[in-house]
Amino acid sequence: MSTFLRRLALFLVVLGLVAWGLDRTLKAGLRARTTFTLGVWNRLVDGKIQADVLFCGSSRALMHFDAATIGKATGRSCYNIGMDGNQLNHQLPWLITYLKYNRPPELIIQNVDMISLSPDTDVFFPSQYPPYLNEDPIYEDLRNTAPDWWKDRYIPLYSFTRFGYGYAALGVKGLLGLEDTLHDPLHFGFQRKDLNWDGGFDEFKKRFPKGLRRFNEESARNTLRAIIRTAQEKGSKVVLVYTPELGEMQRLTLNREEVMDVYRSIAAESGIPFWDFSTATFCEDRNYFYNSQHLNARGVDLFTPMIADSIAAYVGNKP
């Protein structure tokens, strides 16, 4: 028995070392990536963003704030860390991490929308997280959502069993510098969607012909307050922004005013402005959207000067 246990232990040690070494290597490769979402997060934790204006929020931030163009218009360096499919509870740890490695921005634009007041109970696009699990705020947030995340942090190669060899291949490509820079959809963190109206909203309308109510949860309201407080404590100005939303969709939301009042009141109690761009006239035209929540490239081109002017008016133009 002791021979067996000794041999097994030795084998497991060797296996553990190989697994640990590979895990470190592949994650180093993921951490070396400069494109796509991991490229954004790598810049963030490497302290390479250092933006004057930082755009935060969910996919509506990601796809609405053309950071490079706004930067040119305002004379400030801008960057977008909007997160597709992730609500405020997942956005807060990234903001804390940003502030840990980058100088506090002069201005933080926090986008909110009709579903912001409902915390995520799962993790969308989980493969973006494993290289950053040693960041405590990020890890704790994931653990709060799904306790199993400890396996990703402590079991070597566990993340690669979840996301497959394609994920390992990303790490290898990152190590070797073999990235597809030509097709990176993100430019200063902004994702431009050159798409036409996709028609999904019509199906949605059929499902909810009388409209629907959106969540308004205390925990989400507190998270939004925490985001504002975190930024303000570092000396950043904060603005809450509601970016353009299709008018038809606005009218389908039965408690829209209730949700907007929450934003107005949180902004007021925090002493920050709340900019509502959902009243823009082009919100009534489907040609500027690819779905009810997201502007397409044409819509972004209309929206960009509007937000740039507002920013310039709020913090002043830099030459």
Partner 1 sequence: MLFNSFVFALFLPAVFALYWGVFRKLRAQNLLLIAAGFLFYGWWDWRFLLLLLATSLTDYFVALAMGRSASPKRRKLLLGISLIGNLGTLGIFKYYDFFARSLAAGLAELGIAHDPFLLKVILPVGISFYTFQALSYTIDVYRGRIEAVRQADTFLAFVSFFPQLCAGPIERASHMLPQFQRARTFNTAQAVDGLRQMLWGFFKKIVIADNCSRLVDGIFNSSDTQPGPVLIIGAVLFAFQIYCDFGGYSDIAIGTAKLFGFDLMRNFAFPYFSRDIAEFWRRWHISLSSWFRDYLYIPLGGSKGGRGMAVRNTFIIFLVSGFWHGANWTFLAWGLINAIYFLPLLLSGRHRTNLGIAAEGRRWPAFGEVLAMLGTFGLTCIAWVFFRAATIGQALSYIRDMFIHLFDVGHWSRTAQYITDRATYGPAMACIGLLLLAEWLQRNRQHALEALVFTRPLRWSLYIGLVLLIVFVGDHAEQTFIYFQF
Binding site for partner 1 (CB under 8 A): 1, 3-4, 7-8, 11, 14-15, 18-19, 22, 151, 157, 160-162, 164-166, 168
C-alpha count within 13 angstroms, C-beta hemisphere, residue 53: 29
What value does the CA radius of gyration of the chain take, rounded to a whole number of Å? Answer: 22
Q: What are the respective helix, strand and coil percentages of the chain, to the nearest 5?
A: 55, 10, 35
Distance in Å, CB of 10 to partner 1, minimum: 9
Strands in 53-56's sheet, in edge-to-edge order, are 78-80, 53-56, 107-111, 237-242, 274-276
- Is the CB of residue 35 less than 8 Å from the CB of residue 180? yes
Distance in Å, CB of 7 to partner 1, minimum: 7
Nearer to partner 1, 14 or 268 (CB): 14
Distance in Å, CB of 152 to partner 1, minimum: 12
Cα(272)–Cα(264) distance, integer angstroms:
9
Nearer to partner 1, 23 or 52 (CB): 23
Cα(300)–Cα(306) distance, integer angstroms:
10
Distance in Å, CB of 130 to partner 1, minimum: 14
Distance in Å, CB of 129 to partner 1, minimum: 17
Nearer to partner 1, 15 or 268 (CB): 15
Nearer to partner 1, 8 or 178 (CB): 8
Nearer to partner 1, 106 or 152 (CB): 152
Cα(79)–Cα(190) distance, integer angstroms:
8
Cα(196)–Cα(186) distance, integer angstroms:
19
